[in-house]
Chains A and B, each alone.
Chain A
């Protein structure tokens, strides 16, 4: 583009281009009226920036930098350092291992002195959970805390069912190599009613609870009849199943209950009807089916004779 030199000053010249735009340019020994090409023009980006915009840009840049740094850090923390699950080997030495999301040991602790001794002897940080459990069990066997054929309870507290299953599969594969029995339990998802008794039975240092409930019910039934709402515990809680108990016997079956509470209530009801007292309001759920065979009387609402005077009613 061609420029006409319109004005020459000490440090600059004013030029006019073919589009009619006036610009400041370096005065390279120009003369007024000269036509020049390719001058050195004063650029617009040398203008002073507004402080507010500068501050906003600085803050935005800082935020972006923090974001760029923190996202990988957070990701690394989540993957490697964040505790994800806990595996507890419950023998005489109760040792707990904290695992990260990839199943590596990031922490190990124990409540008792035996456990602390074992922890001092093994170096399992950063190792896979199965390998670490293997080492612990090996150390316990060496120290004599457990022997071949003993049972070791393992409690897994995983952050998800999948995590639990993964750890369980690994441990079930690795630990039996030491000729010990391994019982693995999920701490987060306790067993259902069906296997609760079994689990309790396997827990060490726990004694079976004596069956007290049935005896209480029988005495109460003799002395004072329970209200219908309290007759529900006909299904008395089953006593814990002993190891000798054969499997075909269902623990929920009320064995040798002296007086079933239902019978007590029926007798009570018969006594009340003999005395011609108004019957108790029927309760469908809580009273036995024999009493509820006939529905309670209720006024006929839509009878054709409703509203007629007494004289017109048929005798």
Chain B
């Protein structure tokens, strides 16, 4: 019993650091996650159920937030799953009162969704998604050269608005000075001093978010037009 407990804790600690270990832990404890979800929805969850996705996400949160002070890991994870599912249902409850698109009409011949004209261009949308996917793959490959992943960036991303604005200011300064971006790509080092002096921001703040700046500066270089379009308000300085 003790050895099992120690093994779980060791795996949780490893999963906090490594993405693959986290994925492996989630895969191994999938029956546990499904059983906790089933307790809540009173039926066995299917793979496409939103509840199961949320339960898996809650399990991942439990891995990240767990410490020995919180007691048994599985109990802690079960509590996290339950809380997340309650939050999800409360959120969904706010949207009740709408009509489902899958409701059939009186003759039960067609669904409501079939009667609504679809203005979306699915082909164009798929094309756009593919292009975006390609850009992301390229960016991911380029980021590996700098030794960072998207998970690292998500962890290193500024949380406060003030910090986000400081980083945005530095990114804008780099975009207006192509020489800096060229040096960045050549040396594979973030020019923190030049950015801090040029953008008139604190170097310490930039140092704390170095990995985030790597991703943002790479997006500012050539080849990532879709992503640049997505974060246009940051690059133009039109943030809230």
In the complex the two chains form, is B57's CB within 8 Å of A40's CB? yes
In the complex the two chains form, is A4's CB within 8 Å of B233's CB? no
Indicate whether A31 sits within 8 Å of B129 (C-beta atoms), given known contacts A10-B23, A10-B27, A20-B171.
Answer: yes
In the complex the two chains form, is B67's CB within 8 Å of A48's CB? yes
Q: A27 within 8 Å of B by Cβ?
A: yes
Q: How far is the CB of B85 from chain A (nearest CB, A)?
A: 11
Cβ contacts A178-210/B at 8 Å (1 or 0 each): 000000000000000000000000000000000
In the complex the two chains form, is B65's CB within 8 Å of A48's CB? yes
Q: A258 within 8 Å of B by Cβ?
A: no
In the complex the two chains form, is A44's CB within 8 Å of B239's CB? no
Within 8 A of B (CB), among A1-22: 2, 4, 6-7, 9-12, 14, 16, 18-22
B interface: dominant SS:
helix
In the complex the two chains form, is B157's CB within 8 Å of A21's CB? yes
Cβ contacts B74-95/A at 8 Å (1 or 0 each): 0000001000100010000000
Q: A29 within 8 Å of B by Cβ?
A: yes
Within 8 A of A (CB), among B155-174: 157-159, 164, 167-168, 171
Number of A-B contacts (CB under 8 A): 117
In the complex the two chains form, is A42's CB within 8 Å of B212's CB? no
Q: In chain A, what residue has the closest Cβ to B65?
A: A46
Q: A145 within 8 Å of B by Cβ?
A: no
Q: B180 within 8 Å of A by Cβ?
A: no
Which residues of chain A are within 8 angstroms of B23 by Cβ–Cβ distance? 9-11
Which residues of chain B are within 8 angstroms of A139 by Cβ–Cβ distance? none
Q: A142 within 8 Å of B by Cβ?
A: no
In the complex the two chains form, is B65's CB within 8 Å of A20's CB? no
Which residues of chain B are within 8 angstroms of A14 by Cβ–Cβ distance? 150-151, 153-154
Indicate whether A16 sits within 8 Å of B129 (C-beta atoms), given known contacts A27-B53, A40-B54.
Answer: no
Q: B69 within 8 Å of A by Cβ?
A: yes
The bracket for how many chain B residues form the interface is 35 or more
Give which listed residue, B56, B132, B164, contacts A20 with CB less than 8 A: B164
Q: B109 within 8 Å of A by Cβ?
A: no
In the complex the two chains form, is B154's CB within 8 Å of A20's CB? no
Indicate whether A11 sits within 8 Å of B136 (C-beta atoms), given known contacts A16-B231, A44-B159.
Answer: no
In the complex the two chains form, is B57's CB within 8 Å of A42's CB? yes
Give the one of A7, A22, A24 with max B CB within 10 A: A22
Within 8 A of A (CB), among B136-161: 136-137, 140, 149-151, 153-154, 157-159
A-B contact pairs, 29 of them (CB 8 A): A6-B136, A7-B150, A9-B19, A9-B22, A10-B27, A10-B60, A12-B57, A14-B151, A14-B154, A16-B227, A18-B230, A18-B231, A18-B233, A19-B168, A19-B233, A20-B167, A20-B171, A22-B157, A23-B157, A25-B57, A27-B56, A29-B48, A31-B133, A33-B129, A33-B130, A35-B129, A35-B132, A40-B57, A46-B64
Give chain B's interface residues, CB within 8 Å of chain A: 19, 22-23, 26-27, 48, 50, 53-54, 56-57, 59-61, 64-65, 67, 69, 80, 84, 88, 129-137, 140, 149-151, 153-154, 157-159, 164, 167-168, 171, 212, 215-216, 227, 230-234, 239-240
